[in-house]
Each structure stands twice: as C-alpha cells, then as structure tokens.
Amino acid sequence: MTINLKIILSIILVFQFFFIYPIASAEVPRSFFVNTSNGQPHSIIVVGKNAASMDLISGNLIITKIQNEAYYENYVYVTITGSKQVEAFNGQLITLNPSSMDLIWKDSSGNTGKFTYDQSIGLINLRFDTTDPNNLKIFVDQNQNPLSILNPEFNKNVTISPDYSLELLDNNGNLPGLYNPGTSIRFNAIFKKQQPGAFQHVRVNIWEPEKLITNDQTLIEATAKNNNIILVGGPVANNIVAGLVQRGQSKVDWYTSLGEVEYIPNGLYPGHDVIIVAGADREKTRNAVLQLIKS
C-alpha cells in the first residue's frame, strides 16, 4: 500500500511539472515574430514604464531577434528552353532529344544562362505520315492514334507533350505553307520544361525598429489586437504581466524564477499570442532575454 502511494505521488508530481507549470525557455516559433509569407514583423515588445533601465535595454536586444527573423523564402523556378530544326521524311522515325539542342535556363528572378543535361531525360519518338497534304498525321511514341493536323499550312504550332511542341515550317520556299504529299516535313522541335529551383531567403529591412517597442502604459488596444506581444519583466516590473498572473493565465512563479520564457496562446486577444520574458530580478530577466535571442 505504501509503495502504491509513493508511485501515485510521483505521477502527480510529474504531471504538475509538465502540464501545470510551463517549461523554461519555451520554444517560440518564428511565425510568432514575423509573418513568414512576407517577413514583416507582427510582434511588439512591451516593457514596464517604471521598470529598471536594464529592462528597456533587454527589450532593445529582442529587436535584434525580430530583425534576424525578418525574411521570407522565395521559391525560384527554372525554365529550360531550346529548339532545333529537323527534317523528317514520310514514315521516318525521329527522336526528339533536348540534349542535342542549345538549351538555356531562366529563373523566376530573371537570371539566365546555358544549360546542359547531366541526367536521364524523357525522349519522344515521332513518325510522320505526309501522304495527304491536307491532313498531316503525327504518330507520337507507340501511340497508334496519331495527331491529325488538318490544313497544316494554317496550323503551324503543334503541342506534342507538356515539354515538346513543333513549329511546322514552309516546305516550299516559293510557295509558303504548301505540303507535297509523300515528301519531307521541316519543323522546329521546341523544348520547354519548368524544373524546381531552390529557396532563397529574401531579407526584409525594418526601417523603424523603434516602433517595435513600447511600454505597458502606452500600448494601445489596436496594436495589441493585431500583433503578438513580447512582455519583458515580471509582475512587479510590468503591469500587463501582473494582469496575466492575476487572471491565472501566467503559471510561472516569477518571484523565484531564474529566468524563463513563457508562451501563452491567445494571451490578450484571440488569434494573437503572448510570451513573457522575465525572472525574479533584472539580471534574471536579462538571462531569459538571452535565452530567447539564442533560440
């Protein structure tokens, strides 16, 4: 019976430690500090108006944290293009191979350059039936249902696949657009493929960092409703922290804390969270701030 009681008490203590009391140096996601889609800050630092000057210095240190997080990821797409003039006779098998073309790449940021494939790529086999000058038939790979190009002298652009298209050329220099039955077909084989590029970090300049910090007496409701809030200092130094403690939202014993970061979802207003960065005195608050900056 005594052993069972000890086990139960141990379980209660573990439960209290992990579920009732917050863990020191709580993990704060980057999305708390900035809007990750555009890198713009959406968090405000609030210090106590009557707090020690060190709390204000600590608050300004947190600005550097927000500045470091002020970036967004821009995905760069790369488009590879190339073409080659080809002549195909009636019934002849032609293989479209972009490796035989002069390829260039261009990304979504406007950069460009030559491109060479160094890996296996998709090839396409074509066979033309030129027996009817008014109905050019193009067999693609093993498909026995050909693309039927009626009046090819007018329908000069043919899509073969998502990566390949044909630009039909004039087969008689003096009589553009006429096709003689059973003769060759000249065309430009055009290759165009979009490939994944890479993520780029685009930095966002914060031109007025001083607007990221205020005090507990001048924080206006509109700002609090539209931003996450970083509260520096415990209930003695910061009136907003005192209110969270009184309402039971803050669970840390700040009077004995060695320096902690407490995360409170929907702390002041729905949809916006609060973190408290504090300790039992100004030095321990500074320790908590350094923990936050390094996270």
pLDDT at 263 over 90: yes
Q: How far apart are CA 103 and CA 162, in angstroms?
A: 17
Token code pair at residue 32: 């708390």
Q: How far apart are CA 188 and CA 227, in angstroms?
A: 57
Diameter of the chain measured on Cα atoms: 108
Residues spanned by CATH 3.30.379.10 within the chain? 22-70+206-294
Amino acid at residue number 85: Q
pLDDT at 119: 64
Least confident of 48-52, 53-57, 75-79: 75-79
Beta strands in the chain (DSSP E): 43-47, 71-88, 93-96, 103-107, 112-115, 124-129, 135-140, 147-150, 157-159, 164-168, 185-203, 213-215, 228-232, 260-269, 272-278
Q: How far apart are CA 127 and CA 46, in angstroms?
A: 73
Q: How far apart are CA 226 and CA 44, in angstroms?
A: 10
Predicted structure pTM score: 0.57
Q: How far apart are CA 37 and CA 66, in angstroms?
A: 15
Q: According to the CATH classification, is domain 22-70+206-294 in 3.30.70.20?
A: no
| 180 or 273, greater pLDDT | 273
* Phi, psi (rounded to 5 degrees) for 283: -70, -40
